[in-house]
């Protein structure tokens, strides 16, 4: 018994010793790649490295709230080595897990990233503080930014269009807009126009113009400072030549050197007037601006209970806030017409918001569809306005009720049993078996019958004609290109699913090839000549999603770097899943 207790005690003590040793081996640190300059407003990667543990842990990021931390995934970077000495094999396992986050740099100067608390296996650890320098971009005449408002004075609730024009006179890489107006809590911000790209001639120079617009809807009255819009971009300043300049010239090396520059537009201010509280009519739901309303109905000559299609069209500068008219509350409409409770979704056609409803006259005393009001605040008149449609004249006839006499015929007179003659209606009745007819189906009779022959020969001829036309008619190159672009994402994801994680760890270039092949097909580029930075620039131009573009570029870069040298990143199934998600996001946001 004593030996058993000694054995159990020894095991428990050994287990605690192992637990203490493993706990003592755990360390947590933070790291930021400072090999590249970080500019004001840039996004950069912040890593929490956990040594001695191989699972994701919980990190308290609240001390870094000023840097807007966003999760960027993580991975198990553990390594296993085997050594054989004097015939004895020893396996060494070094556990490591890396958690990645994306932070946004503050203004230029010295930036302090505070310590973060990380909970590992129930125990809390502190990362180290990171001190880094945030660089201020330079100025250049190769970039130009114009930001304008559709008006400098408006009313609360009135949509104002903010238009951005970014002129580029040189080759650029990464770029990032800083629009204080779009993050100002004084506005509701809505999308108005997707990013468009043009080649223009400006001030006797060729330039690329990127333009887009947003809708700002002020929430409250007062003078609002919208700040100074700016954009920073990596502008090409030269080429980095290798030791053998002959090969640089012969192969036209793409070792372009970039430097960050910034350009600002004029500061923006907006004066917002308050809506008057007096004389506010019933039915006003916040519509402010310039609007008009019209209505039409088809048909206008009906009987009681017949359907009438009522179409209401509303025009204005900004149609999103326009709501369905309250037809049930219009006098003369709800009493004299029956309307379904369900309403179809409105559509936008030719800059008009179109509402369609089916109504039915309830009696023959109806002579018109009454006016339909639209209540809004007219910014030109500075007062509330009730716009109305013109009444629509109707001719409504009473519904005729059919009787038995109408069905049988008013001149019905019973005739003899053998033959019964009817002048009007339906009244003939036959009781003898003579009225029966054999309607049995015969295949041979059907083939010979002209009616059946016409019924099956014509569709057969149409089928043969369509097959022949489809066989000889080829798709145009434009149609084929559109089909390739539409199927690019699906094909890329299918190829990714075929890559085995074990294979990917030793050959990460397979992943990079699939990614570049997708960009080449989706955006009509030559995949073999694309670099990681090229992929990023193409994605930004096509989707305006800089975050997805940065992640795409980083993965391609790491895959290509791992081909020639070992890197810390571990390529596994999570990497494949992340790339698949990026491809789906890019394909969904693509404007092509």
pLDDT digits (tens, 9 = 90+) for 243-302: 444 444 444 445 678 888 889 999 999 999 999 988 888 889 889 999 999 999 999 999
Quickly count: other Cβ atoms within 10 Å of residue 41's Cβ. 19
Entry pTM: 0.51
Is the separation of the CB atoms in 218 and 160 below 8 Å? yes
Rounded Cα distance between 550 and 539, Å, is 9
pLDDT (mean) for 307-326: 91
Q: Is 562 helix (H, G, I), strand (E, B) or coil?
A: helix
- What pLDDT sits at residue 20? 43
The pair of three-digit structure tokens given for residue 511, joined into one six-digit string: 């992943």
Task: Write out the DSSP string of 397-460.
Answer: EPPPPP-HHHHH-TT-----SS----SSSS-----SGGG-------HHHHHHSHHHHHHHHHHH
- What pLDDT sits at residue 476? 60
Q: Which long-range contacts (CB under 8 A, 24 or more apart) does 121-128 make?
A: 121/23, 121/26, 121/53, 121/57, 123/23, 123/26, 125/26, 125/27, 125/28, 126/28, 127/28, 127/29, 127/30, 127/48, 128/29, 128/30
The pair of three-digit structure tokens given for residue 50, joined into one six-digit string: 């956990």
- What pLDDT sits at residue 420? 47
pLDDT (mean) for 51-74: 86
pLDDT tops 50 at residue 19: no
| Backbone dihedral region for residue 73 (phi beyond 0: left; psi -120 to 50: alpha; all else: beta) | left
Quickly count: other Cβ atoms within 10 Å of residue 588's Cβ. 10
CA distances from 246 to 238, 257, 364, 542, 590 (A): 17, 19, 94, 35, 40
Output DSSP code: residue 66. G
pLDDT tops 90 at residue 588: no
More confident residue, 229 or 527: 229
Residues contacting 351, CB < 8 A, separation 6+:
315, 319
Per-residue pLDDT band for 359 (boundaries 50, 70, 90) equals very high
Give start and end residues of each alpha helix (H) in 109-265. 245-251
Per-residue pLDDT band for 385 (boundaries 50, 70, 90) equals very high
> Poorest-confidence range of 104-113, 503-512, 558-567?
558-567
- What pLDDT sits at residue 13? 47
pLDDT tops 90 at residue 223: yes
Is the separation of the CB atoms in 260 and 287 below 8 Å? no
pLDDT (mean) for 319-341: 88
- What pLDDT sits at residue 564? 56
Q: pLDDT tens across 531-555, in order?
A: 888 888 888 877 777 788 888 888 8
Per-residue pLDDT band for 318 (boundaries 50, 70, 90) equals confident
Cβ density class 550-575: b for 16+ within 10 Å, e for less: bbbbbbbbbbbebeeeeeebbbeeeb
The pair of three-digit structure tokens given for residue 367, joined into one six-digit string: 């002579």
> Poorest-confidence range of 115-129, 195-209, 325-339, 489-503?
489-503
pLDDT tops 80 at residue 579: yes
The pair of three-digit structure tokens given for residue 106, joined into one six-digit string: 């503050």
More confident residue, 575 or 248: 575
Average pLDDT, the chain: 80
- What pLDDT sits at residue 18? 42
- What pLDDT sits at residue 499? 80
More confident residue, 460 or 425: 460
Output DSSP code: residue 152. S
- What pLDDT sits at residue 156? 92
């Amino acid at each position: 018994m004593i030996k058993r207790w000694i054995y159990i005690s020894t095991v428990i003590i050994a287990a605690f010793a192992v637990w203490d040793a493993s706990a003592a081996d755990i360390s947590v640190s933070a790291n930021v790649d400072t090999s590249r300059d970080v500019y004001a407003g840039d996004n950069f990667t912040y890593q929490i490295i956990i040594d001695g543990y191989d699972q994701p842990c919980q990190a308290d990021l609240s001390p870094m709230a000023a840097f807007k931390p966003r999760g960027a995934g993580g991975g198990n970077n553990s390594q296993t080595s085997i050594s054989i000495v004097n015939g004895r094999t020893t396996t060494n396992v070094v556990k490591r897990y890396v958690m990645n986050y994306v932070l946004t740099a503050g203004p230029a100067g010295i930036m302090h990233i505070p310590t973060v608390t990380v909970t590992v296996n129930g125990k809390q650890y502190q990362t180290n503080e990171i001190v880094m320098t945030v660089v201020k971009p330079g100025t250049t005449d190769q970039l130009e930014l114009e930001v304008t408002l559709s008006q400098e004075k408006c009313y609360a609730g009135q949509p104002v269009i903010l238009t951005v024009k970014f002129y580029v006179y040189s080759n650029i890489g990464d770029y990032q807009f800083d629009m204080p107006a779009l993050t100002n809590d004084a506005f509701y911000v809505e999308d108005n126009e997707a990013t468009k790209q043009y080649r223009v001639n400006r001030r006797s120079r060729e330039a690329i113009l990127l333009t887009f617009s947003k809708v700002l809807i002020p929430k409250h009255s007062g003078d609002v400072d919208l700040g100074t819009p700016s954009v920073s971009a990596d502008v090409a300043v030269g080429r980095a030549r290798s030791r053998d300049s002959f090969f640089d010239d012969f192969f036209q090396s793409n070792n372009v050197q970039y430097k960050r520059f910034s350009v600002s537009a004029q500061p923006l201010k907006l004066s917002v007037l308050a809506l008057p509280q007096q004389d506010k009519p019933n039915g006003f739901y916040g519509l402010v601006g310039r609007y008009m309303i019209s209505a039409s109905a088809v048909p206008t000559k009906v009987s009681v209970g017949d359907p009438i299609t009522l179409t209401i069209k509303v025009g204005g500068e900004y149609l999103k806030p326009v709501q369905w008219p309250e037809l049930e509350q219009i006098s003369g409409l709800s009493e004299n017409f029956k309307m379904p409770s369900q309403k179809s979704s409105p559509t936008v056609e030719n800059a008009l918001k179109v509402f369609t409803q089916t109504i039915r006259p309830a009696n023959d005393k109806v002579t018109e569809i009454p006016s339909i009001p639209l209540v809004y605040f007219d910014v030109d008149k500075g007062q509330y306005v009730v716009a109305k449609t013109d009444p629509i004249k109707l001719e409504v006839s009473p519904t005729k009720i059919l009787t038995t006499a109408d069905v049988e015929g008013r001149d019905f007179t019973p005739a003899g049993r053998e033959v019964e003659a009817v002048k009007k209606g339906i009244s003939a009745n036959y009781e003898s078996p003579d009225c029966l007819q054999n309607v049995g189906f015969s295949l041979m009779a059907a083939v010979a019958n002209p009616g059946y022959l016409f019924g099956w020969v014509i569709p057969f001829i149409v089928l043969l004609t369509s097959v022949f036309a489809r066989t000889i008619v080829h798709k145009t190159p434009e149609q084929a290109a559109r089909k390739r672009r539409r199927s690019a994402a699906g094909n890329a994801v299918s190829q990714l699913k075929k890559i085995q994680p074990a294979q990917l760890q030793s050959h990460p270039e397979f992943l990079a090839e699939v990614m570049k092949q997708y960009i080449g097909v989706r955006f009509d580029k030559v995949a073999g000549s694309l670099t990681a930075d090229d992929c990023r620039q193409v994605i930004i131009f096509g989707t305006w999603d800089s975050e997805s573009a940065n992640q795409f570029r980083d993965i391609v870069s790491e895959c290509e770097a791992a081909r020639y040298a070992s890197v810390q990143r571990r390529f596994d199934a999570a990497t494949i899943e992340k790339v698949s998600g990026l491809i789906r996001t890019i394909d969904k946001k693509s404007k092509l």
